[in-house]
Amino acid sequence: AQSVTQPDIHITVSEGASLELRCNYSYGATPYLFWYVQSPGQGLQLLLKYFSGDTLVQGIKGFEAEFKRSQSSFNLRKPSVHWSDAAEYFCAVGRGSGSARQLTFGSGTQLTVLP
């Protein structure tokens, strides 16, 4: 069964530092992968997605992610973190087909940004 693992429950970085959030997936075929962000008291916002093609995908808010099939990973990166990036980040993989299409979410990584 498809699954997503986010090994880091909580990450703390200083403002201006670089960021990498890890995501590992388990899926037999080419996965459809997503990163979402949830700010406090908010719903989820789609940051970026990978379906096929270029393995480095650009998203909103200066985020990017790289798909590495050999490592079953889809890590999220940002070169310079802003205080407003403090939030919870969820990696997700698409599964099922037709009317049964759905997303499976990882457990999330809470990001704290220090001034």
Partner 1 sequence: SAVISQKPSRDICQRGTSLTIQCQVDSQVTMMFWYRQQPGQSLTLIATANQGSEATYESGFVIDKFPISRPNLTFSTLTVSNMSPEDSSIYLCSVSGTGLYEQYFGPGTRLTVT
Using CB under 8 A as the binding rule, the residues of this chain from 11 to 40 that contact partner 1 are 32, 34, 36
CB of 86 to partner 1, least distance (A): 16
Contact (CB, 8 A) for 38 and 94: no
Determine the Cα–Cα distance for residues 92 and 105; give it in Å rounded to an integer: 4
Cβ distance to partner 1 smaller for residue 49 or 77: 49
Nearer to partner 1, 62 or 94 (CB): 94
In the block, tokens 């388990």 appear at 26
Amino acid at site 77: R
Angle at 52 between CA 77 and CA 44, to 5 degrees: 50
R_g over Cα of the chain: 14
Minimum gap (Å) between residue 94 Cβ and partner 1? 3
Is 49 an interacting residue with respect to partner 1 (CB under 8 A)? Answer: yes
Q: Interacting stretch for partner 1, rule CB under 8 A, among 22-30, 41-49, 62-70, 72-80? A: 41-49
89 beta partners: 37, 109
Q: Does residue 45 touch partner 1 according to CB under 8 A? A: yes
CB-nearer residue toward partner 1: 15 or 38: 38
